[in-house]
Amino acid sequence: MTKPVILTGLRANNDLTLGNYFGGMLPIIDTAKTRSDEYQINMFIPDLHSFTTPTDHSQLYEQILQTAKLFVAAGLPIDNENIHLYRQSHVSAHSELTWILDCFTGFGQMSRMTQFKDKSSDKDDVSVGLFNYPVLMAADILLYGARYVPVGDDQTQHLEFTRDIAERMNTRFGNLFTVPEPVKKQHAFFGNDQGLRIMDLVDPTRKMSKSANSEKGVIFLSDDPSAAAKKVMGATTDDKAFVAFDPLEQPGISNLLQISALLAGEPLETVIERHAGQTRYGDFKSEVATQVNDFLIRFQTSLANVDEATVIKKLEQSEAAMNIQAGETLYKVQQAVGLRPKA
């Protein structure tokens, strides 16, 4: 692990959304395309995380492969040896390090994780896996000494938890782990001044999420492009009748401005300025709807052209390489906690 590592993962338990694409995929893929000579890029599918909430196991294997193909369709260059694409469950060090980290993690700290509280609040069948999920995520990151971890705003607390456990282990056992950069530096590195949170189109006070009650507010990467454009046209706005970026007072319009900027690859400020004062929401929505439609056509065409055999070969090559890298970190930790002889 000579180059600094940039790492992220996206679960494969359902169809991915535009929120996943912008929050988890685009930042790392953009970096992979332009800076893979400076950084090692790790893009992986946290398949063990996929069933922290109930899932259809008969579909899971195929969904994992499909997710790998989505990364390639989104532009991840896989013919580059600094770029790794792998499945978490194929590198057993992830599970092994999780157990060790579990035993150094306080129950109280874990109970304060807001995503666990949100996802478990109205459910009866909450698994220990859901509770433990941030520890597995910390293992995913620490095994490779990742410095930058692009994630959406909903994962910020888990990233902070990762930094926290790494620092605690380092204090106790000496320099075991590379601590990922603080969240603010992460945002600056990926060109945001704050975490990204794409909102639901129908209820723009909620995060766009694959588990939303209604699909009307969620754009899936597999949506029919014209149906997705209609979802944009139906997005909830407000009665102010002028386009402005004000997430508190005008959450729907602000969300569409953000989506438009990301799709155009332009700074948000430029898009805000271009639309400032526009009074006809219909015209503005129709521009964003066209952007969404065109993006999905391009993305789905690219997905149809991804060769599955090439993706499987890349997965296998990366998994072999990652077993070596992750195995080295795991061994250091095993030595530190007394499971293996000291060097």
Which residues form the catalytic set? 119, 207, 210
Under 8 Å between Cβ of 81 and 45: no
**Mind giving me the DSSP string for 280-329?**
-HHHHHHHHHHHHHHHHHHHHHHHHT--HHHHHHHHHHHHHHHHHHHHHH
User: Which tokens go with 183?
Assistant: 């969240």
Which spans of this chain sit near ligand TYM (rule: CB under 6 A)? 7-11, 19-20, 22-24, 46, 49, 137, 140-141, 149, 151-152, 154-155, 196-198, 207-209
Query: Measured at CB, which residue is nearest to ligand TYM?
Result: 23
Number of other residues whose CB lies within 10 A of the CB of residue 131: 17
Minimum gap (Å) between residue 339 Cβ and ligand TYM: 24
Give 120 or 278: the residue with its C-beta nearer to ligand TYM. Answer: 120
Nearest CA among 68, 69, 71, 88 for reference residue 32 = 71
Q: List the 5-9 sheet strands across, edge first.
A: 83-87, 40-45, 5-9, 146-148
Q: Which residue bears the tokens 């150094």?
A: 104
Q: Smallest gap, in angstroms, from Cβ of residue 330 to ligand TYM?
A: 16
* 24 vs 225 by CB, closer to ligand TYM: 24
To the nearest whole angstrom, how small is the minimum distance from the Cβ of residue 122 to ligand TYM? 18
Q: Pairing between strand 40-45 and 146-148?
A: unpaired
Judge whether 241 and 259 are in contact, CB under 8 Å: no
Q: How far apart are CA 119 and CA 47, in angstroms?
A: 18
Q: How far is the CB of 208 from ligand TYM (least distance, A)?
A: 4
Q: Give the nearest distance from C-beta 279 to ligand TYM in angstroms.
A: 28
Name which of 250 and 255 has its Cβ closer to ligand TYM: 255
Cβ nearer to ligand TYM, comparing 182 with 276:
182
Cβ proximity to ligand TYM, 164 vs 278, nearer residue = 164
Q: How far apart are CA 334 and CA 216, in angstroms?
A: 49
